[in-house]
Amino acid sequence: MEVKLGFGAVPKPQYVFVSKESDHCWYMLSDDTRQIPIYERALTGVITGIEINKKVETSHGEAEKTDLHILADKPYVIRSGSESYFSKSLLLSLDALTSEQLHHPLTIAVSPGERTIVFCAIYNPITYRSIGVSWNGHREIDWQALGQKVSLKINCIQNLHQDEIQICANTTASEIHAVLIAQSDTYLAQLNWTPEQGRDYLQQKYGKRSRLQLTDTEILEFIDYLKLQLTQNC
């Protein structure tokens, strides 16, 4: 993405909100919070992260949202309600994608349903083919667990990709966890942390004494913290 020098807009992600209206299914907000309709139904870019069940303050109080981060002509964040059909169809599509597919640009499309419902569909922009998903048994799906699985896959891939570590599409969760432990070993050694320092931090932050006790989300957060310490020490 080309960097434009000189005066311009503040370089911050553009939020896109999902809502079914008469002639569009998503919109942006202007600086004065005025809704700006987006009439195009598709956004193509590289997925760079996802936040599941993110607590957000809205005009109606606190709500849980799903934020999908995409890098296109600029960084975008597609925000939808965690319990919405858009979020659920998004999770089903992302779960069906392989790690290799997630390294390449994808097209996120809105598809209007009945009443206020908006579905999400993901396409390969080269082949024009959509990622096939099935809603069979969707009422029995543990959406919380599926969200955590998808979040781990996407955010883990991005973390490992930044450090030039490749994982295969069939890498298991336990293998990913082992790779993350090894990655944290590298950062701890670079920081010259003693085992006691590591245990003290984990105890204070997570109430746990070992990295083996951390969830995948927690160890990713721990790695980000170690990387930040390295940056500040440079």
pLDDT at residue 32 is higher than 70: yes
- Rounded distance, CA 183 to CA 180, Å? 5
Q: Are 118 and 20 in contact (CB under 8 A)?
A: yes
Domain positions in the chain are 14-159, 173-233
Residue 119's SS3 state is strand
Does residue 155 or residue 129 have the better pLDDT? Answer: 129
Contact 187, 226 (CB under 8 A): yes
Model confidence pLDDT, tens digit, residues 103-121: 889 999 999 999 999 999 9
Please tell me the predicted confidence (pLDDT) of residue 223: 84
- pLDDT bin (cut points 50, 70, 90) of residue 66 is very high
CA-to-CA dists, residue 225 to 30, 49, 50, 113, 153, angstroms = 33, 17, 18, 42, 19
| Percent residues over pLDDT 90 in the chain | 42
> What pLDDT score was predicted for residue 164?
42
The DSSP bridge partners found for residue 112 are 118
What's the whole-model pTM score? 0.68
